[in-house]
Structure 1
Amino acid sequence: MSSRSPASRTGRPRSAAADAAILAATREALVELGWSRLTLGDVALRAGVAKTTLYRRWPGKNELVVDAVAELFDELELPDRGSLAADIEGVVLQFAEILARPEARSGLMAVVAESTLDASLRERIRTSVVERQKRLVREGRSRAQRRGELPPDPDPRAAERSVDLIFDVVAGAVVHRGLVSAGPVDGPWARDFTALLLAGLATPPSP
């Protein structure tokens, strides 16, 4: 799993406390000001750091907001509830709880909207959020295979395609439910969604 803070640079050592303060201040500013009014100067003031400290770490607002949102999703953990179905339900509900936070909703919707016209921002979202959280799918599949709930992977390339697809299905469904259709992501919904997902997982991926 990647580190939560952005990649370090040469020169003066990074301060984890400063990074945490800056990312927290970014999320606070997103909720209060929104994307369009948020500035790096405001974030620096809220975090109690010099603007030069912030600019040494992030080249611009896009990168800063993506990392602030990514830190929230790094809180996700795959629970061990004894079965694949229960594990999936648990992580789906965790994901929904994070999305329900005003700072997560504001930040995610803002960067996704901005990324439609910015290829570098889309790549930042992919590497900082999507690729990092695919760890949950890999962990869940491996655990279910050890339990005998899923067949072994027939081919590593097919398995990785399956990881990509499972992540897209889970993340897409929860984000759409929570942020687009505004329906509850509660226990009954998570159970129904998991049952639908498991019906597809019962078939091994094609090589």
Structure 2
Amino acid sequence: MSDARKSDARKINPWLKAALEFGPLILFFLVFSRFRDHVVSFGGRDYSGFILATLVFIPVLVASTLALWRLTGKLAPMQLATLVLVVVFGGLSVWLNDPKFFKMKPTLIYLLFAGLLGISLALGRNWLQLVMSEALPMRAEGWRILTIRMVALFLGLALANELVWRLMSETAWVNFKTFGLPAIMVAFFVLNARLFERYALPRDQ
């Protein structure tokens, strides 16, 4: 990585970064937990606690994403895609007073990224490596293996989200989204630690 790129990368306090990334999701969970058994009237319409939590979540996510961009000078592609889909599908859920659009959003995100990673493999251009090589310096073969595994992960998460929101309660889906999905992602990278070690570049590179 060039010195210019190093200078462009602005570091922020990791606790602040975590608060901006996970704060909106935690707030969504708290609002839903508080109002899940209530009906809230607004503008002459009745809304469930889920729709109210979605209405709160959208502007808070927009604000936190903008704050991350201002503080770090960059946003990951997944952050941008998440923001767009939250605004579109969360907005549809609030506008139509129907929670299913917001519940479908994780499925679409995971299918989108599985498709993009699969296309990058087919084209011989590893886009995952371009995005994450700064954080995980590995040889090309390691990136190819990780990309294949991440395609499988995203497809599995898309299927899991569909099963949970269609077959289980609203509370179960909120718990799955708030705690289950992040835990699965963390576990995935922990389980791939040996891959990172095996294909790591020498320290001088």
TM-score (normalised: structure 2): 0.31
Higher relative contact order (CA 8 A, sep 6+): 1
TM-score (normalised: structure 1): 0.31
More helix per residue: 1 or 2? Answer: 2
